[in-house]
Amino acid sequence: MSTVRHHILTVHVENKAGVLARVAGLFSRRGFNIFSLAVAPTDDARFSRITIVVDVESAPLEQIVHQLDKLVNVVSISELSPADAVQRELLLATVEASPAERSQVIQLVGVFGGEVLDVGATRLTVMLAGPPEKLDDFERLLETYAVADLQRTGLVALPKIDGRSVRPLREPATA
């Protein structure tokens, strides 16, 4: 997941109807690949933050950033280098587990520091939050059981407090 092909962009956008379609439309029409995209409001109700993990092999980062910046609703863009960011992603999975297997799954979840959220007769739903690589490992081990359903949220990230500062690629416009 965190190879050099990937860059994390934190994009502040105006909280307006259609903004996500504008960002997604730009990526698709310009042939830029997205690995993941997470969007949520910020503490300022006028803006949302989109965290995009982009594939810089599909296009140079500079081109992606400049094209994004042309969207009128995009206010600012910064790049977070994986080394200088705290990154988290959330995974939910429903696993088929016979009563005999159940404890193994619960144990696995415990080793990774996840949680069991729901238990049925032959299934259980588990959760893990963590850096994407940890989720990759967890997902691989889960696959030794029958995974009925699996959902990941995509990455969100903030700069490390004592890390190198974020590279602001485009500052917000001054009024």
Partner 1 sequence: MKLTGAQALIKSLEMEGVEVMFGLPGGAILPVYDPILGSSIRHVLVRHEQGAGHMAEGYAMVTGRPGVAMVTSGPGATNIVTALSNAYMDSTPLVVITGQVPTASIGTDAFQECDITGVTMGITKHNWLVKTAQDIPETVASAFHVATTGRPGPVLVDVPKDVSFAEMDWHWPPALDLPGFRSPSAPETADVQAAAALVASATRPVIYAGGGILKARAVEELRVLAERTGIPVVTTLMARGAFPDSHPQCLGMPGMHGNYTAVTALQRSDLLIALGTRFDDRVTGRIDAFAPGAKVVHVDIDPAELNKVRRADVAIAADCKLAIGALAATLEGAPAPDLSEWWSQLRRWQEAFPLYYSQSDEPPIKPQMVVEKLRDLSPDDTILVSGVGQHQMWAAQYWRFDHPYSWVNSGGAGTMGFAVPAAIGAKMGRPDRTVWAVDGDGCFQMTAQELVTASAERVPVKVAILNNAYLGMVRQWQEMFYGERYSEVYLSPDLPDYVKWAEAMGCVGLRAESPDEVGTVIEKANAIDDRPVVVDFRTDAFEKVFPMVPAGASNDDIVVHPAQASGR
To the nearest 10 degrees (0 to 180), the angle between helices 61-70 and 19-29 is: 140
Q: How far is the CB of 168 from partner 1 (least distance, A)?
A: 13
Q: Is 41 in the site for partner 1 (CB under 8 A)?
A: no
In the block, tokens 């490992």 appear at: 137
Nearer to partner 1 (CB atom), residue 45 or residue 100: 45
**Contact between 140 and partner 1 (CB under 8 A)?**
no
Residue 27 DSSP SS3? helix
**Residues in contact with partner 1, shown as a per-residue x/- string from 64 to 93 under the rule CB under 8 A:** --xx-xxxxxxxx-----------------
Q: Tell me phi and psi for residue 20, to 5 degrees.
A: -65, -40
Beta strands in the chain (DSSP E): 6-14, 33-41, 47-55, 74-80, 85-96, 115-119, 123-130, 146-152, 156-159, 167-170
Closest approach, Cβ 31 to partner 1, in A, equals 13
Stretch that binds partner 1, among 60-68, 105-113, 118-126, 127-135 (CB under 8 A): 60-68
CA distance 9 to 53: 6
Work out which of 62, 115, 133, 143 binds partner 1, going by CB under 8 A: 62
When binding is defined by CB under 8 A, the residue of 18, 100, 151, 165 that contacts partner 1 is 18
Q: Which stretch binds partner 1 (CB under 8 A): 59-67, 119-127, 132-140, 142-150?
A: 59-67
Give the Cβ contact number of residue 17 at 10 Å: 7
CB of 123 closer than 8 Å to CB of 96: yes
| Per CB under 8 A, 25 contacts partner 1 | yes
Helix (H, G, I), strand (E, B) or coil at 62: helix
121 scored as a contact of partner 1 (CB under 8 A): no
Which residues of this protein are in contact with partner 1, per CB under 8 A?
A: 13-14, 17-18, 21-22, 25-26, 29, 60, 62-63, 66-67, 69-76, 172-173, 175
